[in-house]
Amino acid sequence: MAEALFWPVALGVLGAIVGSFVATLAIRWPEGESVMRGRSRCDGCDRTLAARDLVPLLSAAMLRGRCRSCDHAIDPRHWRIEAIAAVIGIAAGLASADPIALVGACFGWLLLALGALDVVALWLPDRLTAVLAGSGITAGLIGAGPAMTDRLIGGVAGYVGLWAVAAIYRRVRGRDGMGGGDPKLFGAIGLWLGWQLLPAVLLLACLVGLAVVLIAAVRGRAMAADTALPLGALLAIAAYPAWLVMIGHTS
């Protein structure tokens, strides 16, 4: 029993810590601020936050999401991303109670970082997408998941497939309908999952996008034909469950 709980608990805790960094990345990087330099501070009183104010999830819960000094609301994206990263780690530990769980959790955390940046700034940095792609190849080299041939085919098929869709849309409509980072992300996902799961990932991403549009309509928010949706975030949301299913079938 203790051994079965080790990976979910350990990766859940690690996920909350990783999520703290991912939240900082998603908030600071689009603003041109350094992620690695500079202490965390309150947006209200500019007070440098102490270590006790930076414990992932716990500090936000104990302080009710507000600054200890000025009671200014702390950006809720911090605890939300920390919570999602913790869930990603727990899910990986439940799917595979061995070191492969850590590999999958890293996949999920990278997807979370890319998805968060896409939601915040409609931006998928090439450097971060390259890390996702490189780690997918590395995972194949250590024997985690699909064969390397399937991964390489998935990488090419993912990129070329979405690139072709974007090119056809541009030719027919006379304007861009997709960001340049989306095909790169889909190719990187293919390097993790292999080519077989790419259609399911794309279908699920489209269904999630449709759900977002329907929810917005119910809430009275108009969605025009040219309203930008973060396709990269939708692909990230769809890709991680696909990895969990794949690992569940091979375990």
pLDDT tens digits for range 224-240 = 666 778 999 999 999 99
Whether pLDDT at 38 is above 70: no
CA distance 104 to 193: 11
Q: Which one of 53-57, 76-80, 187-191 scores highest in mean pLDDT?
A: 187-191
pLDDT of residue 82: 96
Tally the C-alpha atoms within 13 A of residue 191's C-alpha that lie toward its C-beta: 22
List the helix and strand counts (H, then E) for the chain. Answer: 9, 0
pLDDT tens profile 75-95: 889 999 999 999 999 999 999
Those residues whose C-beta lies under 8 Å from the C-beta of residue 223, and which sit 6 or more positions away, are 213, 216, 217
Q: Identify the bridge partners of residue 66 per DSSP, sorted by sequence position.
A: 73
Closest CA relative to residue 24, chosen from 9, 35, 13: 35
DSSP state of 142: T
pLDDT of 52 reads 74
The pLDDT assigned to 67 comes to 77
Segment 142-183, tens digit of pLDDT: 888 799 999 999 999 999 999 999 999 888 988 887 889 999
Is 80 exceeded by the pLDDT of residue 201?
yes
pLDDT band at 7 (very low <50, low <70, confident <90, very high): very high
Residue 10: C-alpha distances to residues 1, 15, 113, 206 (Å):
14, 8, 20, 33
Average pLDDT over residues 32-60: 73
